[in-house]
Homo-oligomer: A and B are copies of this chain.
């Protein structure tokens, strides 16, 4: 039986965002922020289009979610992101006090764990939801770029 609003459901929405990035020739990473079973923010990497290294999917959705909530903390929110956040995004999530972070694919090179950055102690983390789909999209992107 398929559950309507389980982790796979929301990660598919994040992957749809990553696909939009792919179509715009951006490194395909997408994210959604969920509160009370509803998506309150969605975004994808736009660093090339905006000429801005800070325009990662996570950064945009943190800002958008806080704007929606009218407060800067995401204490009762879950973020679904298709690639492990970098140290910048982990640092932003730290300040947001995000409740739960669900990650599709690990980033062995520039992921926050490898770089040494920290999430907030109150944030729970889960890896591997739709990992193969996310990794495949990234692989296809970098293959196209070579």
Contacts and interface: CB of A to CB of B under 8 A. Distances in A.
Contact of A118 (B52, B67, B71, B115): B115
A19 interface: no
A33 interface: no
Contacts of A136: none
Contact of A59 (B54, B86, B90, B116): B54
Interface in A90-125: 90-92, 94-96, 115-118
Contacts of A117: 87, 91, 115-117
Interface string A66-100: 11001111000000000000111111101110000
A47 interface: yes
Nearest to A119: B87
Nearest to A85: B91
Given A117-B115, A118-B115, A67 B87 contact: no
A36 interface: no
Contacts of A88: 87-92, 94-95
